[in-house]
Amino acid sequence: MAIIIDGKATSLAMKEELKGKIDAFISQTGVTPGLAVIIVGNNPASAVYVRNKENACAAVGIHSETFRLAEETTEEELLALVRKLNADEAIHGILVQLPLPSHISEEKVIASISPKKDVDAFHAENVGHIMIGNYHFLPCTPAGVMALLERYGIEVAGKHCVVIGRSNIVGKPQAMLLLEKNGTVTVCHSKTKNLADITRQADILVAAVGRARFVRADMVKDGAVVIDVGINRLADGTLCGDVDFEAVKEKAYAITPVPGGVGPMTVTMLLYNTLTAAKESLK
């Protein structure tokens, strides 16, 4: 039976540590870290994420402002709001909740956020910094995965790490962070041939493909560490990950559950990025 990597408990412990750091920062500088979150439209999942971010900010002492914009908001109206927030000295981090309505270019919006306030680390400048290992911010979900591995004493160096998925938000940056920690990394995707043969070689397997229970037990090596980044809603309304948790936990050394694994860590790393942005703003 695998060790269950508890993201909920880990995130709570990290937020408690962060609250102390924020209290000390405010005491030393008189500056309260500020985060602006913009949500466009009525996507129910996005609304839940935004509420979670608001609650998390309040818990650690970050000033947060949420801008809820109508579905019909134009691209120029959204870009104008981002420019206004870029110039607001009380706001250190700006997050535009994705996905956006189809008439708005996500690429343009991400590019419009000041790299110094890009706490999602999606801006091309920050992506470039991650590529060369010289960064202030890391994308929140991959950073959360790395924090879980570290907190559970799971060594990456020398391990074969297989990432399923090549998105700009998770797959690609996850591969870079594992590589930075001296893992040997293979990235698999929809065009990969003999996928199961590759995943069975993984010492650390990260599933970020967005397909419910895609990773079966026969795709996993005995004793592997399995990190499930996926979150999928089934027909009965329950949530599950990209990994067949019940079957795979019998083979794995350690595994993250869904919910309660990587998910809570994503918001926690956003809070850490916001404090980093506030510190950098004073330099």
228 plus 178 within the same structural domain: yes
95 plus 148 within the same structural domain: no
Q: Mean pLDDT throughout 23-43? A: 97
pLDDT of 237 above 90? no
47 plus 86 within the same structural domain: yes
Residue 238 to residues 6, 9, 102, 234, Cα–Cα distance (Å): 19, 21, 27, 5
Look at residues 187, 195, 229 and name the one whose alpha carbon lies nearest to residue 212: 229
pLDDT of 45 above 90? no
pTM of whole model > 0.85? yes
Catalytic residue among 53, 116, 172, 221: 53
226 plus 164 within the same structural domain: yes
- The verdict on whether 97 is a catalytic residue reads yes
Residue-level pLDDT at 48 = 85
Asked if the structure places residue 277 within a domain, the reply is: no
pLDDT of 5 above 90? yes
Asked if the structure places residue 97 within a domain, the reply is: yes
- Could you list the residue range(s) of the whole structural domain that residue 251 is in? 140-262
- The CATH number given to whatever domain includes residue 153 is 3.40.50.720
Work out the percent of the chain whose per-residue pLDDT is above 70.
100
Residue pLDDT, tens place only, 97-136: 999 999 999 999 999 999 999 999 999 999 999 999 999 9
Catalytic residue among 6, 97, 116, 159: 97
Query: Could you give the CA distance from residue 223 to residue 246 in angstroms, rounded to a whole number?
Result: 15
Domain tally, the chain: 2
Q: Tell me the pLDDT band of 43, cut-offs 50, 70 and 90.
A: confident
Catalytic residue among 6, 15, 116, 120: 120
Asked if the structure places residue 163 within a domain, the reply is: yes
74 plus 172 within the same structural domain: no
CA 26 centroid distance within chain: 26
- The verdict on whether 120 is a catalytic residue reads yes
DSSP three-state, residue 23: helix
